[in-house]
Amino acid sequence: MCSFFLVKLWEFIVSAAYIPYIKTTYFHLALVTFKMSAATRQKYSLYLLGASESEIRGSKLPSNSQILKVFFYYHVILKQTIRKASTAAVEAAIPFWKQARIPIRAKKHLITKVEKLHEKWKTLKKTRNRQEKKQRYDEANFLKYLDNLIDMAAQDALQVMKIEEDKQFLLAQWEEGRRGSMGGVDKTVANKEKGLKTGNFLKQTTI
- pLDDT for 45 equals 87
Calculate what percentage of the chain has a pLDDT beyond 90.
64
Average pLDDT of span 101-108? 98
| Exposure on the CB side of residue 13, measured as CA atoms within 13 A | 6
Those residues whose C-beta lies under 8 Å from the C-beta of residue 178, and which sit 6 or more positions away, are 60, 61, 63, 147, 148, 149, 172
**Which of 46-50, 75-79, 100-104, 200-204 comes out lowest in average pLDDT?**
200-204
Instruction: Indicate whether 172 belongs to any domain.
Output: yes
Pair 30, 73 in one domain: no
Sign, CA dihedral 108-114-118-124, equals positive
Strand partners, 149: 63
| Amino acid letter for position 71 | F
**Mean pLDDT estimate for the chain:** 79
Same domain for 3 and 76, yes or no, is no
Question: What b/e readout covers 127-146, taking b as 16+ CB neighbours within 10 angstroms?
Answer: eeeeeeeeeeebbeebeeeb
Provide the pLDDT for residue 56: 97
Entry pTM? 0.71
| Residue 55 burial (CB count, 10 A) | 9
Residue 49 · residue 72 · CB < 8 Å = yes
Residues 15-32 as b/e (b if ≥16 CB within 10 A, e otherwise) read eeeeeeeeeeeeeeeeee
Q: Does a structural domain hold residue 73?
A: yes
51 within a domain of the structure (yes/no) = no
Tens-digit pLDDT profile for residues 136-152: 999 999 999 999 999 99
Residue-number span of the structural domain to which 8 is assigned = 1-43
Say if residue 37 is in the same domain as residue 126.
no
Based on the fold, state whether residues 72 and 169 are members of the same structural domain. Answer: yes
Name the domain count of the chain. Answer: 2
Asked if the structure places residue 49 within a domain, the reply is no
Helix (H) or strand (E) holding 86: helix 82-99
Q: Is residue 142 part of a domain?
A: yes
Is residue 55 domain-resident? no
The DSSP string of 163-175 is: -HHHHHHHHHHHS
Q: Are residues 99 and 146 in the same domain?
A: yes
Q: Are residues 91 and 148 in the same domain?
A: yes
More confident residue, 195 or 127: 127
In a domain, 59, yes or no: no
* Residue 68 shares a structural domain with residue 39: no
| 119 and 189 in a common domain | yes
User: Do residue 102 and residue 13 come from a single domain?
Assistant: no
Residue whose C-alpha is closest to residue 157's, from 201, 206, 100, 115 = 100
Is 52 part of a structural domain of the chain? no
Q: What is the pLDDT of residues 171-207, one digit of tens each?
A: 999 999 999 998 643 333 334 444 443 344 445 543 3
∠ CA 193-172-187, rounded to 5°? 30
Residues 32 and 92 in one domain: no
Do residues 71 and 161 share a domain?
yes
User: Are 81 and 33 contained in the same domain?
Assistant: no
